[in-house]
Amino acid sequence: MIIAPLWRRLAAILYDTVVLTGLWIIVSFLVTAAFGIEQARSVQVDVVVFNPLYRYAMMAALSGSGLLFFGWFWRNSGQTVGMQAWKIKVQNADGSAISWRQAVLRYVTAPFGLLLCGVGYWWMLMDADHRTWPDITSDSVVVRIENFPQAQSGSRTE
């Protein structure tokens, strides 16, 4: 088991941010369509104010869709789209898939790990087991996936 290096983790985070942004645009559109833009906002003294119910619904929809996105990928294959591209995987130390509880802990801890210039991720450079804050709180590991074995030299694919 080879622990995934920091640069691969950060690259996967950037990749997943692009995918998640697209998902959140769709979710935002659906929430706004459900409320109707006129019901979602009002103008008070030349300032646009959003209805508190709309704001809470939007926050819940964005948070929930993010959790479902990451949780589903982590539970089913151990890899988000970004993790697949950078050949890393989240799993338990024994190689089994993480639980939903672990996925929630990773999802909640990750933003805090990125605060203050990513101190929760730089932490792995000081930790004896090379764990980030999400790894520690969820008791999971992010490993590098080895390449698939090359085809035998005698076989030809034309």
Task: Name the strands in the sheet holding 141-144, side by side, starting at the edge strand that comes first in the sequence.
Answer: 2-3, 141-144, 88-91
Nearest partner of 98 among 144, 143, 140, 142, judged by Cα? 140
Give backbone dihedrals phi and psi of 149, rounded to 5 degrees, phi first.
Answer: -60, 140
pLDDT average per 10 residues of sequence, the chain (158 residues): 94 97 97 82 72 89 98 97 97 96 97 92 95 97 78 48
pLDDT score at 147: 67
For 121-152, give the DSSP string: HHGGGTSTT---HHHHHHT-EEEEPPPPPPPP
Q: What does the angle CA 114 – CA 117 – CA 120 come to, to the nearest 5 degrees?
A: 45
What was the pLDDT predicted at 149?
53
pTM metric for this prediction:
0.84
pLDDT at 156: 45
3-class secondary-structure state, position 89? strand
The letter for the amino acid at 14 is: L
Question: Torsions phi, psi of 126, nearest 5?
Answer: -105, -20
The pLDDT value given to residue 150 = 52
Q: What is the pLDDT of residue 158?
A: 43
Q: Tell me which H or E stretch contains 119.
A: helix 100-122
* Secondary element (H or E) of residue 18: helix 6-35
Residues paired with 48 in a beta bridge: 43
